[in-house]
Amino acid sequence: MAGARPGDDRTAPLVHTAGPTPRSATVLDAAEVSRALTRIAHEVLERNKGPEGLVLMGIPRRGTHLARRLAERLAQVEPAFDAEACTGSLDVTLHRDDLRRNPTRTPEPTRLPATGIDDATVVLVDDVLYSGRTVRAALDALSDLGRPRAVRLAVLVDRGHRELPIRADHVGKNLPTSTAERVFVHLAETDGEDAVLIEGPTERHAEGEER
Amino acid sequence: MRHLLSTADLSRAEAVRVLDVAEQMAATQQREIKKLPTLRGRTVVNLFFEDSTRTRISFETAAKRLSADVITFSAKGSSVSKGESLKDTALTLQAMGADAVVIRHGSSGAPLRLARSGWTSGAVLNAGDGTHEHPTQALLDAFTLRRHLVGGGPGGGPAADRVGADLAGKHVVVVGDVLHSRVARSNVHLLHVLGARTTLVAPPTLLPIGVETWPCEVSYDLDAALRGDVQGPVDAVMALRVQLERMDAAYFPSAREYSRRYGIDAARLALLPPHASLLHPGPMNRGLEITAEAADGARSRIVEQVTNGVAVRMAALYLLLAGEDA
């Protein structure tokens, strides 16, 4: 389940009501987020042996912003890559298998590059990889839109706990977590700053294991 | 939302949300593969006690595009014509496991009765009840108006310009058989909630008792309303069908007189500002409330309304059936 997306109103609000504010720690700061994205951009190009046929599809909402940033970095390295024309946004809401376990979500727009995705190498971009269910939904959504030559997955944070046989091709940071912890990705576009934060279980919840 | 019974129950936020979801649903209907897996395994029953073409087909298409199973039930040719009651019909459908019931009924309040009675556990969607309400029609009208009047302008710019927007400040003239029209009633409430002004135009005989308490203005003079003399410049005109099948008495002297005073023709459309749209919920009586020239003209959004109806009904089914509270 998408517990990895606090700050995103599609998920149920955190239960902060009892006990003091949970502790949260910064895992990546703005410079580290930027370095991770630059590295991923180079990895994507290396893997693809150049920018030919590359299409970046971000999963709303933070994945869409990350895809745009990756595309800008690709264009810096390879001026032949047209960042605007090769970037899109892929809403997966209508393909999710956990709709009935969550409050009703409002679908976000899907935008395809003008050239479509047929025979392209599509790089799916998301902020956090957790259960893998979002990615599964994305693969289904993608197959309704066309037939890519290959699909790759790039994520800023992989926090483990997969429920499906899915792995990322490009990872900004592997972050071992417990399921009781929550991972926040903040981006300048949506949250005013670039950072990845990890938040422990609430004090009350963690009382027993506190030092 | 648990049921969709009446636009009078909708808040502004709920109504805008339906329009926003419909916007995304409409986008999916532009694709080569229009079917989505969203409501796979859910069952939608279309329960039609009254004749209908577009509403029934529209709901059926919407449910199928979301991968729900659809059972269509028409009163004609069913046990209803043998005298089975609404209750027994509903209990039968419940026993078959309906997740949603789309109901059209000749009696005002039948959908509410179904929703409150406990006869069915599914969501109830009102597809027109007597002379009461037809909420999905009003929502698709509002959706069509928003596409043409907000953001990108005629034809609609990018959807992002309209998401979250209402119809604040717009002015819609609704002309025709208001007395028998559930479409008019639903539209008056919805347009009011969305911040638009409505002017109802009809002969006094075709206005319901109590219309003065509705959130709208009433006029008997169509030309004055179209010229903007009643509530200012007009952004859209909606012609209502003259419901001859419901008319048990003489409501106007002759069809010819009606169409001369209240029919929409090209000359009347010329009184409107250039951007104004023409809507009609269908089916049309061409030559009575609307001329063929007007219905097929450049301002007409009548065919587009049918297309938008599928997207709006997909949104309604999605919002009622997809979440955990459904």
User: Per residue in B51-99, pLDDT tens?
Assistant: 888 899 999 999 999 999 999 888 777 777 777 788 888 888 888 889 9
Quick one: closest CA in B to A102, which residue?
A: B324
User: What residues make up the domain containing A36?
Assistant: 30-175
A198 within domain boundaries = no
A138 within domain boundaries = yes
Per CATH, the number for B7-133+307-321 is 3.40.50.1370
Collapsing DSSP states into helix, strand and coil, what is residue A210?
coil
A45 within domain boundaries = yes
Interface mutation vs chain A, best among B20, B40, B320, B324, most A CBs within 10 Å = B324
Beta-carbon-side half-sphere exposure of residue A132 (alpha carbons within 13 Å): 9
A143 within domain boundaries = yes
Evaluate whether B43 touches B317 at the Cβ level (below 8 Å).
Answer: no
A68 within domain boundaries = yes
User: CATH 3.40.50.1370 region(s) of chain B?
Assistant: 7-133+307-321, 135-301
Q: How far is the C-alpha of A200 from the C-alpha of A24, rounded, in Å?
A: 6
Which residues of B lie closer than 8 Å to A, measured between beta carbons? Answer: 17, 20-21, 24-25, 27-28, 31, 33, 35-38, 66, 159-160, 318-319, 322-326
Interface mutation vs chain B, best among A93, A94, A110, most B CBs within 10 Å = A94
For residue B71, report the phi and psi dihedrals to the nearest 5 degrees.
-115, 120
pLDDT in tens, A70-93: 999 999 999 999 999 999 999 999
pLDDT value of residue A7: 40
Smallest CA–CA separation between A139 and chain B, in Å? 13
Q: How far is the C-alpha of B17 from the C-alpha of B38, rounded, in Å?
A: 18
CB interface of A with B, residues 126-185, below 8 Å = 140, 144-145
A187 within domain boundaries = no
- For chain B, what is the HEC assignment? CCCECCHHHCCHHHHHHHHHHHHHHHHHCCCCCCCCCCCCCCEEEEEECCCCCHHHHHHHHHHHHCCCEEEEEECCCCHHHHCCCHHHHHHHHHHCCCCEEEEEECCCCHHHHHHHHCCCCCEEEEEEECCCECHHHHHHHHHHHHHHHCCCCCCCCCHHHCCCCCCCCCEEEEECCCCCCHHHHHHHHHHHHCCCEEEEECCHHHCCCCHHHCCCEEECCHHHHHHCCCCCCCCEEEECCCCHHHCCCCCCCCHHHHHHHHCECHHHHCCCCCCCEEECCCCCCECCCECHHHHCCCCECHHHHHHHHHHHHHHHHHHHHCCCCC
Residues of A in contact with B319 (CB under 8 A): 104
Interface mutation vs chain A, best among B18, B40, B318, most A CBs within 10 Å = B318
Tokens of A4: 């990895």
B135-301: CATH topology = Rossmann fold (3.40.50)
A193 within domain boundaries = no
Q: Which of B37, B159, B324 sits opposite A102 (nearest CB)?
A: B324
pLDDT tens, N- to C-terminus, chain B (326 residues): 799 999 999 999 999 999 999 999 999 999 989 999 999 999 999 999 998 888 999 999 999 999 999 998 887 777 777 777 888 888 888 888 899 999 999 999 999 999 999 899 999 999 999 999 999 999 999 999 999 999 765 555 677 788 899 999 999 999 999 999 999 999 999 999 999 999 999 999 999 999 999 999 999 999 999 999 999 999 999 999 998 887 777 889 889 999 999 999 999 999 999 999 999 998 999 999 999 999 999 999 999 999 999 999 999 999 999 987 65
Chain-chain contact of A99 with B25 (C-beta, under 8 angstroms): no
A13 within domain boundaries = no
What's the CATH code of the domain at A97? 3.40.50.2020
* Site of tokens 């002379």: B131
Report H helices in chain A: 30-48, 62-77, 133-145, 188-191, 203-206
Quick one: closest CA in A to B38, which residue?
A: A94
CB interface of A with B, residues 85-104, below 8 Å = 91, 94-95, 99-104
**Which ipTM was obtained for this model?**
0.84
pLDDT value of residue A200: 84
- Asked whether the CA dihedral A24, A30, A36, A40 is positive or negative, the reply is positive
Q: In the β-sheet with A182-186, what is the strand arrangement from edge to edge?
A: A24-28, A195-199, A182-186
Q: Count other C-beta atoms under 10 Å from residue B38's C-beta.
A: 23
Contact pairs from chain A to chain B, CB under 8 Å: 54
Chain-chain contact of A106 with B159 (C-beta, under 8 angstroms): no
Chain-chain contact of A104 with B326 (C-beta, under 8 angstroms): yes
For chain A, what is the domain count?
Answer: 1
pLDDT in tens, B101-114: 999 999 999 999 99
Chain-chain contact of A104 with B323 (C-beta, under 8 angstroms): yes
Q: Is A190 in the B-facing interface, judged by CB distances under 8 Å?
A: no
Chain-chain contact of A110 with B27 (C-beta, under 8 angstroms): yes
Q: Which of A100, A107, A140 sits opposite B21 (nearest CB)?
A: A107
Q: How far is the C-alpha of B121 from the C-alpha of B100, rounded, in Å?
A: 8
pLDDT-derived band of residue A6, with 50, 70 and 90 as boundaries? very low
Chain-chain contact of A99 with B38 (C-beta, under 8 angstroms): yes
Residues of B in contact with A101 (CB under 8 A): 324
Quick one: closest CA in B to A12, which residue?
A: B324
